[in-house]
Amino acid sequence: MSEKFDVVILGGGNAGIGVTGPVRRAGMSVAMIEARDLGGTCPNRGCTPKKILVAAGHALHEIERASVHHIAVGKPKLDWAALIDREKDMIKDIPANLARSMAKRQVEVIKGHAAFAGPNTIRVGDRTLEARHVVIATGSKPRPLPIPGTEHMITSDEMLSERELPGSVIFVGGGVISLEFGHVYARTGTEVTILEALPQLLPAMDADAVAQLQAESERIRIRIKTNVSVKKIEPANGRLRVTFVHDGREQALEADRVVNGAGRIANVDTLNLEAGSVAHASGRVTIDAHLRSTSNPIVHVCGDAVPISPQLSPIATYEGDIVGRNIVEGPKHSPDYASMATSVYTVPALAAVGLTENAARQKGLAFDVHVNDMLGWFSARTYAETVAWSKVIVEKATDRILGAHFVGHAGQELINVFGLAMRFGITATQIRENIYAYPTFASDIKHMLGHA
Ligand SMILES: Cc1cc2nc3c(=O)[nH]c(=O)nc-3n(C[C@H](O)[C@H](O)[C@H](O)COP(=O)(O)OP(=O)(O)OC[C@H]3O[C@@H](n4cnc5c(N)ncnc54)[C@H](O)[C@@H]3O)c2cc1C
């Protein structure tokens, strides 16, 4: 016997939870199937626990700079096992809290792995659910690499759990996870190497911002090699050896850990998409502008399972809300990613919103670029910043912000001012004319935009 629901959501992460608001407000019956922990990646294995390690990296950075303030400190000693315990302790109640909030919302949460059994039928364990709408919100997983020896690699899951600090780590891939964990490890004294296949780390980010971050990463002794082709990973001398070609020469490096830092892909391969008549290509569900399957429009996709949007938790929640509203109101809503602020939580962070300079050029737009190295500015000197850099791109005709990019200078907070301006059409002149509390990093914003 099948059980009937208006909406069945596969996955209880940010995206799945985002769907529940609009559909429950409309009084629809909802089942949410979750294979692991409610909350999904961000609070259990992603943003939140990672930020706890990043905060420790930040403290070590401040200690390194203490002498500038004439504070004498000894060599810091980090108890890594205790830090991991702190991290686990801070997040341990999240799934239970979310279970309570889903119960309050009258969402039926079912534990187990879900898969399609028909175009509107989902099987989980020995239960069969029939739905008027199905939502794929199953998140992402590390990208498998076509290299011999990948079974020796670990992922961010292990880095967030291992209580023993490795002496050396090689990251294969120079994306967000590699840089964020690399900065924490490097500050603890772990030897860090990042091997990136492309000419630039963080290829989606502004090239000049990445160059600033790369210089800062190298300052803290992270070894970075780009244009690298990794050939194999194998055990050697009680460690792991990574063989790669760089500068036309085959080379090898050894480390205690090798991490898959090659990004993440949509986690949809075990959903039996064929049974659900859900068209897909190269591991990606084919979707329309309203985040619906092109072949089966009662199937909606949101969050990291969407192949074309940035894999970020606020975007997962936003897409979940759009899917929820489309289910209630019909296919009216489409996502707009133009003003989504994001940060790479290195220490200091690289923060960005909108277009890179390159992307703005490729679109043929006419714009002014305001680049500032702010290291000499009072605010940066006061806090003994090691890098303080910004680039703001302003469209000539409209005076609108097209993009903003920061490295350091509280950029992970200030970027939201530019996101707000982009979303609500606040012009560069209006941002400049605002009165900011002084002395703050935000009060530098008007100088970052040059003179009117
Ligand atoms: C180490 C790390 C750090 C990150 N840091 C940040 C950050 O600082 N800021 C930021 O914005 N983003 C960050 N992210 C990304 C962020 O975590 C994701 O974008 C976000 O969690 C995506 O939400 P989601 O709901 O789409 O997927 P998820 O949160 O992954 O949820 C999907 C859920 O579906 C479940 N599931 C999968 N398959 C099935 C199935 N067949 N049946 C039932 N359940 C299933 C999974 O168990 C999971 O709980 C980070 C990610 C990682 C890995």
Q: How far apart are CA 40 and CA 19, in angstroms?
A: 14
CA of 267 to the centre of ligand 1 (A): 10
Positions of E strands within 340-430: 342-344, 350-354, 367-373, 388-395, 401-408
Question: Distance of CA 60 to CAs 53, 193, 220, 277, 433, Å?
Answer: 11, 20, 12, 52, 37
Which of the four pLDDT bands, split at 50, 70 and 90, describes residue 452? low
Mean pLDDT computed over 428-434: 96
Mean pLDDT computed over 356-382: 97
Is 190 near ligand 1, meaning CB less than 6 Å away? no
Residue 427 has phi, psi (to 5 degrees) of: -85, 165
Is 50 near ligand 1, meaning CB less than 6 Å away? yes
The answer for 284, left when phi > 0, alpha when psi is -120 to 50, beta otherwise, is beta
Q: Which pLDDT score, from 0 to 100, does residue 216 have?
A: 98
Positions of E strands within 396-446: 401-408
Which of the four pLDDT bands, split at 50, 70 and 90, describes residue 451? low
Query: Which two structure tokens, joined as six digits, stand for 154?
Result: 């670990």
Q: How far apart are CA 344 and CA 348, in angstroms?
A: 9
Q: Which atom of ligand 1 is nearest to the CA of 34?
A: 44
CA of 196 to the centre of ligand 1 (A): 24
Residue of minimum CA distance from atom 3 in ligand 1: 46
Residue to mutate (ligand 1; options 10, 19, 33, 42; most atoms within 8 A of CB): 42
Question: Distance of CA 51 to CAs 43, 88, 345, Å?
Answer: 10, 12, 8
CA of 49 to the centre of ligand 1 (A): 13
Residue 450 has pLDDT above 90, yes or no: no
Q: Which pLDDT score, from 0 to 100, does residue 1 have?
A: 80
CA of 100 to the centre of ligand 1 (A): 20
Is 318 near ligand 1, meaning CB less than 6 Å away? no
Is 54 near ligand 1, meaning CB less than 6 Å away? no
Contact by Cβ (8 Å): 205, 356: yes
Residue 239 has pLDDT above 90, yes or no: yes
Q: Which atom of ligand 1 is nearest to the CA of 342?
A: 11
- For the purposes of burial, counting CB atoms within 10 Å of the CB of 223, is it exposed (0-12), middle (13-18) or buried (19 or more)? middle
CA of 40 to the centre of ligand 1 (A): 5
**Do you know the residue count of the chain?**
452
Longest Cα–Cα distance in the chain: 74
Mind giving me the DSSP string for 22-43?
Answer: HHHHTT--EEEEESS-TT-HHH
Is 35 near ligand 1, meaning CB less than 6 Å away? yes
Mean pLDDT computed over 408-433: 97
Each residue's pLDDT tens digit, 139-163: 999 999 999 999 999 999 999 999 9
CA of 364 to the centre of ligand 1 (A): 35
Whole-model pTM: value is 0.96
Is 184 near ligand 1, meaning CB less than 6 Å away? no
Each residue's pLDDT tens digit, 167-220: 999 999 999 999 999 999 999 999 999 999 999 999 999 999 999 999 999 999
Residue of minimum CA distance from atom 33 in ligand 1: 11
Q: Which atom of ligand 1 is nearest to the CA of 140?
A: 30
CA of 404 to the centre of ligand 1 (A): 26
Contact by Cβ (8 Å): 156, 143: no
Residue 7 has pLDDT above 60, yes or no: yes
* One-letter amino acid of 189: G
Each residue's pLDDT tens digit, 334-343: 999 999 999 9
Is 343 near ligand 1, meaning CB less than 6 Å away? no
Residue to mutate (ligand 1; options 41, 183, 284; most atoms within 8 A of CB): 41
3-class SS at 21? helix
Percent of the chain predicted with pLDDT > 70? 100
CA of 302 to the centre of ligand 1 (A): 11
Each residue's pLDDT tens digit, 37-61: 999 999 999 999 999 999 999 999 9
Q: Which pLDDT score, from 0 to 100, does residue 308 have?
A: 87
Q: Which atom of ligand 1 is nearest to the CA of 16?
A: 25
Q: How far apart are CA 262 and CA 144, in angstroms?
A: 8
Is 33 near ligand 1, meaning CB less than 6 Å away? yes
What's the chain's average pLDDT? 97
